[in-house]
Amino acid sequence: MPSEAPYGAPRFDRIHAADIMPAIEEGIRAYKAGIAKIRALDPAEATFENVVVPLDRADSLLDVPRAVLGYLKSNFGGDSIIRISLESAQLTGEAYDAVTLDTAIFRLVKAVYDRRDAAGLDSLQLRTLGKVYRSYIRGGALCTPGQKERLKELNREISLKRIRHGQNITQATQEFVLYVQDSSLLDGLAGTTRQRFARNAARQGHQGVWAVGFTNGDYASVMASATNRDLRRRLYEAYTSRCMDRKYDNRQLSVDIVNLRLERARMLGYENYAAYTLETNMAGTPEKVRELLLPLKDAAAGKGRAERAELEAFAVKYERDSAFRLEPWDVAFYSGKLRKAKFGSELGRMRNYLFFDNVLNDGVFYVANRLFGITLTQRTDIPVFHPDVLTFEAKDAEGRPLGLLYLDCFVRKGKRGGAWCSRLRGYSCAGEREVLPLVTISCNFSRAAEGRPKLLSTSEVKTLFHEFGHALAG
């Protein structure tokens, strides 16, 4: 059903997991019906308006539940959402492959493309046509029937394995816990951090101990502040060996994905997957990437060796032990001590001034207005799936709407790690019909204790500005 919410935003307040697969199945039916009408055309009659435009719109009904599912999978998780993701990936993949590898559909696209110079198309239409034609070539339209069947298998396997791979990382990260029995092992940590660890343990039914995990800044706090070197080592080794156990083992999955991608790239006429994926990106070729990265690598490695030598010399002096050798689990700890020795304690106190609301409104949004004339105003009438999610309406300097921004900044069980910008809907226009984008930003900033102010670290501030740059592009 069309949403009556502002901007036609998804009704997250009404959507349940059980609704998603029926919506995807209905979207696939509508997609197939639209494709069947296009397929019936004679190539001699094919034009931009009767082929390319309806191809672009054919999956518009399917786009909505797919976008909602992708958003919930990354930000909310849960067994039911993951199960639906795997099931829907197979269905939608088959539907899209059937069209991309359909000889009759490609014949129509090629007919429009071959007559493009005489068709009187404007620059936007020409660019769209070029992208559509190239997507069919890159999707396997020129392959033999046997190769097309194998491509369908490869696409399905890659899609399913990537979903499992990402979910393994999320679950292994969120389920890890190290129970600390001796409070002296937590020396060096702030009192509020210790209290959080104690509350974590109590919630898990373990009184009188401390539970250290990998989320909400736990890992970074221990690595930067814990004086007990063995605790840092245990946590570091656990963190860097995630997804190497039987329950969430990603080792074979990683090898499988690499090999499947290589096979698909070579079947499509590329030397390797890098050549395939870079073709439509700014670099263009692996050789261009190497031209940029290899000289940078040499310069960075030299600088890195010098910084490591400085840090190890400082650690030897700090520990008063000439035999001390720096290990990976020592780097964050002694780097903090070295910064304090160089610059004093004020650097660490900067967090006290970085209130989330101030950074957002007087920092990020202020800069967007100064640079581009864009204003962002919070909306409380846009449905969201969780109270953490804030929504903002973006307008240009003349007050014209540009779209909505969904901002979900704080760590939460089920959300995948890292920070990213995505979208529930992209911008599109055809004739007089303009659809404005719904852009999302997701981060995993440390969550403040109840009643405490939401403060950001300097790295979190950088992350917010970085992701907002992507949002502006969206």
pLDDT digits (tens, 9 = 90+) for 362-409: 999 999 999 999 999 999 999 999 999 999 999 999 999 999 999 999
Distance between first and last Cα of the chain:
25
Half-sphere CA count of 87, side-chain side, radius 13 A: 15
Give the predicted TM-score (pTM) of the model: 0.85
d(CA 175, CA 359): 31
Cβ atoms of 50 and 57 within 8 Å: the answer is no
How far is CA 85 from each of CA 69, 77, 161, 355, 442, rounded to the nearest angstrom?
7, 10, 12, 36, 19
- Model pLDDT, residue 104: 97
pLDDT digits (tens, 9 = 90+) for 422-454: 999 999 876 677 899 999 999 999 888 788 899
Report, as an integer, the average pLDDT of 327-341: 95
d(CA 147, CA 160): 20
- Model pLDDT, residue 202: 95
- Model pLDDT, residue 77: 78
- DSSP track, 343-387: H-GGGGGGGGG-BHHHIIIIIIHHHHHHHH--EEEEESSS--SST
- Model pLDDT, residue 417: 86
- Model pLDDT, residue 344: 78
The per-residue pLDDT of the chain, averaged, comes to 94
For residue 445, the 8-state DSSP code is E
Confidence of residue 337 (pLDDT cuts 50, 70, 90): very high
Confidence of residue 144 (pLDDT cuts 50, 70, 90): very high
pLDDT digits (tens, 9 = 90+) for 259-280: 999 999 999 999 999 999 999 9
Confidence of residue 199 (pLDDT cuts 50, 70, 90): very high
- Model pLDDT, residue 347: 62
pLDDT digits (tens, 9 = 90+) for 52-74: 999 999 999 999 999 999 999 99
Cβ atoms of 38 and 73 within 8 Å: the answer is no
Residue 348 has pLDDT above 80, yes or no: no
Residue 60 CB partners (closer than 8 Å, separation 6+): none
pLDDT digits (tens, 9 = 90+) for 90-119: 999 999 999 999 999 999 999 999 999 999
Instruction: Look up tokens 């298998």; give the residue.
Output: 153
Q: How many residues does the chain have?
A: 474
Residue 197 has pLDDT above 90, yes or no: yes
Residue 135 sits at φ, ψ, to 5 deg, of -65, -35
Cβ atoms of 390 and 378 within 8 Å: the answer is yes
d(CA 471, CA 323): 50
Angle at 76 (CA atoms; ends 72, 80), nearest 5 degrees: 75
- Model pLDDT, residue 465: 98
- Model pLDDT, residue 433: 79
Residue 2 has pLDDT above 90, yes or no: no
Percent of the chain residues past pLDDT 70, beyond the cut: 99
d(CA 421, CA 406): 10
